[in-house]
Structure 1
Amino acid sequence: MKTSLTRCAFAVLACFGPLAAGAQTTPDTTSQVPQLDQIVVTASRSGQLEKNVLGNVTVIDRQTLQQAGQDSLADILGRQHGIQFASNGGPQTTTSVFMRGANADQTLVLLDGVPINGATSGLGALNAIPPASIDHVEILRGSASSLYGADAIGGVINIITKPDTDQPFSAYANAGVGTYATSKYSAGMSGSADGWTYSLGSSYAQSGGYNATNDKNAYAYNPDADSYYSRNLNGSLAYEWRPGQKIGLQIYNSRINGGIDYDRYNPYNDRSVQTLDLYSLSSENQITSRWKSTLRYTYTQDKNRTIAADSDTTFSTRQDQYSWQNELQLAPQQKLVLAYEHLDQSVSGDIPSYNADFTPGPIINYDQTRRHNNAFTGVYTGQFGRNHLQASLRNDHDSQFGNAPTWGLSYGYDLTPGLRAYAAANTGFKTPTFNDLYYPGYSNPNLKPEKSRNFEAGLRYTGETTRLSAVVYQNKVRDLIAYDTLTFLPTNLDHATLRGATLSAEQRLGNTTLRASADFLDPRDDDTGNQLNRRARQIYRASAEQRLGAWKLGGEYMYVGKRYDDVANTIVLGGYGLVNLTAAYDFNRHFGVQVRWNNVLDKTYTQAYGYNTPGSNVFVNLSWRM
């Protein structure tokens, strides 16, 4: 198996060998031009240069997403420092993302600034969001509830799908094939004219897949290939009827139908169907030269259906959010953001029940299916020479849990024009899910929200060709929800400390770009002293990218240390190292080909006990751009 995969991969790469002879050999001088600093919004709820952010932020750009090959969004996130992930056997299955060691449901996932964490599972449906539908991703690490409310204990992942359409008409198309009988197709357009801005994109993918489980899985193993297919449609339309006065409409619809292994004692082509819908209507109004108002209504629905031999269940979360945000420019270097948000959540579940003789009973729903939240947020940012300040304050009033005030305070000082030191402190919280509170027979309606207190300090150097960063942090989480070993019910039992340090570097040398990062993490359950499960204490990443005329060649290496699959730290998941290679060739400014070869050495590794991961796999993509 390994030999055939390797030979296949070399054959694919060799197909492009003749093109190298005709490629330009002159240096690509454009890569030597200093890159413009990106605008990010997640760190302060309004646009600011990335270099001015007081915190640890990463932006994954569109080019990286478009060249992802077979990778899922979780795969791409897992290559960023401070993030680990585990899937249950493929991109179609449930994926857990751990940011700075926090639990998977303690990271807030936003889609164009709107929360999409399901109210039943607490997770964001990352498996339903194809990379081809995304313009870029902003990652904010550390507790951020004072900006966005519940669930942001570990940080925030803001997935932004709308492109910058303040440009003439443009279009694109992609078609690719790869290992496991995988094929992907995407196309889209965007532009602006006469006050109108618009975008429309669509994608489709299918794969024969690989077996999601192995024989170590005592409950779910089924020796079959678990295929999947997915489709996505997204678009936006806006009209600026007067300078500074704009109304807009946005849609996002995504669905993935994938094979899973559910019950080894009832072999069946078990399926998981995950859908995610978002519809948004907004009005942006420049009231005065210093006051911008944005009104927005957003509807989202996250639905997961599991089809097995003896059951067909669906869990759904609907969220209606109404928001009014005001950006006030107090002075040239001072801004105040004031926002009000109202969130209605409603859930439904097809929950099986059993009679006294253990025969199947009727399908039932949660005891409670609705709750709402009102929130007021204020964020101040200011620059005073070498001094930089950000302060945020928020109060969430949940219909069940009452008030939850949170705050954040960050200060930065420019030691030199390119070197900044900063320190930040903030608080966070997470409300219990409907599963925690109301799942029949396995819930506790008396649960309290989890709470956190985070402190971090860092040094960041930004030059024309060099970026260096060092961050240390400690996040104390209390009232963690865990299952009581005596009652088997969720209880606010545990306390945890998430302590760590991250080093990262980027260096551009002409046509060569080098990147590296190292994560040192100690995520501990304070009550037992155990390492939090599925989280490694050390992760190292390194990559290199080289421009050779019309060619772009790259290589990546990632090492993930030992982890434990269970909270008792009895099931060891060994460390592993992965090597990936990339190559791209531009035929001209419109057409190109990209190749991504993952797990070059065909390593066998484990992210979750009893679940498989992909072997060596290759994906070839042909792209067209206007």
Structure 2
Amino acid sequence: MKSCFAPTALALAILPAAVTAQTATSDATDTPITYLETIVATPARTSQVLGDVYGDVSVITNETLRNAGGRSLTDVLAQQPQIQAYQQGGPQTLTGIFVRGAGPQQTLVMVDGQRINDPATGSTYLSAIDPTTIERIEIVRGAASSLYGSDAMGGVINIITRSDGQDKPLSVFGNIGVGTHSLFKASVGVSGASNGWDYRLAGSYASSDGFNATREKLGTFTYNPDHDGYEQASLSGAVGYTWKPGNRLGVSFYNGYTHGDFDSGAYDTNTFGIMRQQSVAVTSNNQLTDWWDSVLQVSVNRNLYDSRASYGNSVLGSIQRTYSWQNNFAINRENKLSLVLERKDESIFGTTTYEQDKRHTNAVGLIYRGDFNRHHVQASLRNDNVSGYGSKTTGSLGYDFDITPEWSVGVAGNTGYRVPTFADLYTPLSFGYQGNPNLKPETSRNIELRTAWRTESTSVSVNAWQTKYRDLINGYVCDEMYNCTAENVDRATVRGISLNAEHRFDNTRIYAGADFMNPKDDESGNRLIRRAKHVYRIGASHTFGQATVGADFTHTGSRYDDKNNTREKRLGSYGVLNLHASYAFTKNLEAQVYWNNVLDKKYETAYGYNSAGSNIFLNLAFRM
């Protein structure tokens, strides 16, 4: 505790004297954006200016996503504060995101407000989503189950594909690029809004010969020295019509596809997996009175993973249908209240027959926000009734105080939970393993402190948190007869502090950040798997004339890939240096070059799986 929060007290003490200005930016890889113009919806389920949001919230902008180069969505997310990631090979493989040390199944991922966590396994198929087809990403750190229900224990990542609906002329963009490992990427999109209509359509395609995903230490039944390539395609779109001020009917969709090789032993040379991530939503916003706003949404999400290998094929998929009605009431100028009614139906399908393949959740939630001069309060309460589990109630309470117009402090406490996956509960007996239908939901309690100083050219923020997890599910517990199942056996505590600063002067921008975390199993005292205790980030960019050059460096501490923290499964620390440059021939045409992992650092984010070495990506971008 001392090592995590002593720096917090020091930072709080010196902050007013150390900072004089702030940039309103929300990501560590983008040209600064105007803070007061950024509108977000995820932190309170209603649209609000980012500068007025409570808690630890950031936005990855459209410009950053369009200029992702050869990076995957997982790579883009891993550049953000308090987020770590792993990949089991290349970008075509299964990946995982840790937000504030919470496991991948404990962070809710959404597309346009629709949850896409697979109820079958808890996985999120981020590899099937191309950054260039996304409008922006909103990140909320800290438990948000009182807003969104199950899975939101570590935070929420909301991937937005639709436009904001504000009037704007027709805009066309495109990218075409090539890189190391025979990488080819191309994307094209259009967007605009006029006469009440708003629209956006974007598509992309990528292919690569890839690199060898595995190392020999994984053994004969996994390691194969061949290259593991992939193909990826995605299409996203949205169209809406505002037929009266405050009244809009809209449809949005996303369809992502990845065909990726994986290793399954030296003698199995044609193994691959197919991932599909599909979603569609219909939303009706209606300003019923000057104090009552109604938001009605019906959405469907479909996940599919199809594994092909010589030893057999397997398919596992899921469908989630969500029906929600949110009513936002402006009680008066200082007080706002939202009532959320929600129904979620989940079903799974595939080659394996589960004892139960359906469940549903009925939920009701309240969200209150009060603004009283320099005092700001947000509270939320939600009850989820899950078939087979009964009711689960979660809550959150946050308070912010504006010490000056530039300097604010805040405190918040919240609770979270996660319902076990269908695989945890109902996997039929196979090779000595069987699911456990008696599992309890995982739960969490979180408290956090924050302070931030913001002006037009500089930003400094400090966020500190402690999260206690109970009834964590160990997916593979075996008895003396090697009969294995899932059990609620673990407790954990994650304490952390994140410090971030950024400054812009003239045409130069610099930023730096450091995350310190102690993710600990309460019983053994061991570190939770694949979590580093510290991550450092630093970067700079400079524009002169029509050219821009920049560099960023990230250092990630050592991790362990097993619960016992054995020496054999220790993953060493590593530092990655990236360089980038661009030249604008005209206001519409720009050439870009990215040199990632300049020092060709060899490292693992998952035991036995390689990461890409030094690689270059050349891109030609068009904007009109």
Give the TM-score, by structure 1 length.
Answer: 0.91
Letter in 2 for 1:186: S
Corresponding residue of 2:14: none
Q: Quick one: distance in 2 between partners of 1:623 and 1:304?
A: 32
Q: What secondary structure, in the 3-state scheme, does the structure 2 residue paired with 1:169 have?
A: strand
Letter in 1 for 2:261: G
Q: Quick one: distance in 2 between partners of 1:140 and 1:565?
A: 27
Q: What secondary structure, in the 3-state scheme, does the structure 2 residue paired with 1:288 have?
A: coil
Corresponding residue of 1:222: 224
Shift in Å, 1:265: 5.5
Contact residue 32 and residue 510 of structure 1 kept, 8 A: no
Contact residue 411 and residue 424 of structure 1 kept, 8 A: yes
Shift in Å, 1:168: 1.9
Corresponding residue of 1:563: 559
Note the aligned Cα RMSD (angstroms). 1.3
Corresponding residue of 2:345: 344
- Choose which of 405, 416, 437 in structure 2 pairs with 1:417: 405
Give per-residue Cα distances to partners, 1:407-463, cap 9 Å, x unaligned: 000001111211111000000000000000001122100000000000000111111
Contact residue 36 and residue 51 of structure 2 kept, 8 A: no
Give per-residue Cα distances to partners, 1:470-528, cap 9 Å, x unaligned: 11110000000013242421111010001111111111111111111111100011111
Matched, 1:433 2:429: no
Contact residue 51 and residue 462 of structure 1 kept, 8 A: no
- Choose which of 549, 559, 566 in structure 1 pairs with 2:545: 549
Give per-residue Cα distances to partners, 1:296-347, cap 9 Å, x unaligned: 1101100000001121111001001101111222222432121111000000
Give per-residue Cα distances to partners, 1:214-238, cap 9 Å, x unaligned: 1111231111111100111111121
Matched, 1:464 2:464: no
Letter in 2 for 1:584: S
- Choose which of 575, 578, 582 in structure 2 pairs with 1:577: 575
Give per-residue Cα distances to partners, 1:257-307, cap 9 Å, x unaligned: 01111x216422210100011111121111112211111110110000000
Worse-superposed segment, 240-249 or 451-460? 240-249
Corresponding residue of 2:436: 444
Shift in Å, 1:191: 1.5
Contact residue 187 and residue 202 of structure 2 kept, 8 A: yes
Corresponding residue of 1:192: 193
Corresponding residue of 2:618: 620
Shift in Å, 1:542: 0.6
- Choose which of 476, 484, 501 in structure 1 pairs with 2:477: 484
Q: What secondary structure, in the 3-state scheme, does the structure 2 residue paired with 1:489 have?
A: strand
Q: Quick one: distance in 2 between partners of 1:132 and 1:334?
A: 38
Aligned ranges 1:134-533 → 2 under 5 Å: 134-166=134-166, 167-218=168-219, 219-261=221-263, 263-264=264-265, 266-351=267-352, 365-441=353-429, 442-482=434-474, 483-486=476-479, 487-533=483-529
Q: Quick one: distance in 2 between partners of 1:447 and 1:154?
A: 20
Q: Quick one: distance in 2 between partners of 1:32 and 1:297?
A: 35
Matched, 1:604 2:602: yes
Corresponding residue of 1:19: none
Q: 1:292 to 1:348 in 2, by over 3 A?
A: same
Q: Quick one: distance in 1 between partners of 2:57 and 2:196?
A: 33
Contact residue 34 and residue 465 of structure 1 kept, 8 A: no
Give per-residue Cα distances to partners, 1:26-63, cap 9 Å, x unaligned: xxxxx899654421211111112222222111111111
Letter in 2 for 1:350: T
Shift in Å, 1:383: 1.1
Corresponding residue of 1:127: 127
Letter in 1 for 2:615: N
- Percent of residue pairs identical: 44
Corresponding residue of 1:102: 102
Q: Quick one: distance in 1 between partners of 2:32 and 2:109?
A: 35
Give per-residue Cα distances to partners, 1:187-231, cap 9 Å, x unaligned: 111122332221111111111110111111123111111110011
Letter in 2 for 1:53: V
Q: What secondary structure, in the 3-state scheme, does the structure 2 residue paired with 1:484 have?
A: strand
Letter in 2 for 1:187: V
Give the TM-score, by structure 2 length.
Answer: 0.91
Contact residue 67 and residue 132 of structure 2 kept, 8 A: no
Q: What secondary structure, in the 3-state scheme, does the structure 1 residue paired with 2:288 have?
A: strand
Worse-superposed segment, 274-283 or 144-153? 274-283
Contact residue 163 and residue 238 of structure 2 kept, 8 A: no
Contact residue 258 and residue 273 of structure 1 kept, 8 A: yes
Corresponding residue of 1:41: 41
Letter in 2 for 1:572: R
Shift in Å, 1:150: 0.3
Q: What secondary structure, in the 3-state scheme, does the structure 1 residue paired with 2:532 have?
A: coil
Contact residue 35 and residue 51 of structure 2 kept, 8 A: no
Corresponding residue of 2:9: none
Letter in 2 for 1:454: N
Give per-residue Cα distances to partners, 1:371-416, cap 9 Å, x unaligned: 0001111111111111010000001000111101000000011112
Q: Quick one: distance in 1 between partners of 2:35 and 2:375?
A: 24
Q: 1:33 to 1:611 in 2, by over 3 A?
A: closer
Give per-residue Cα distances to partners, 1:14-37, cap 9 Å, x unaligned: xxxxxxxxxxxxxxxxx8996544
Contact residue 274 and residue 304 of structure 1 kept, 8 A: yes
Worse-superposed segment, 403-412 or 542-551? 542-551
Give per-residue Cα distances to partners, 1:337-366, cap 9 Å, x unaligned: 211110000001323xxxxxxxxxxxxx11
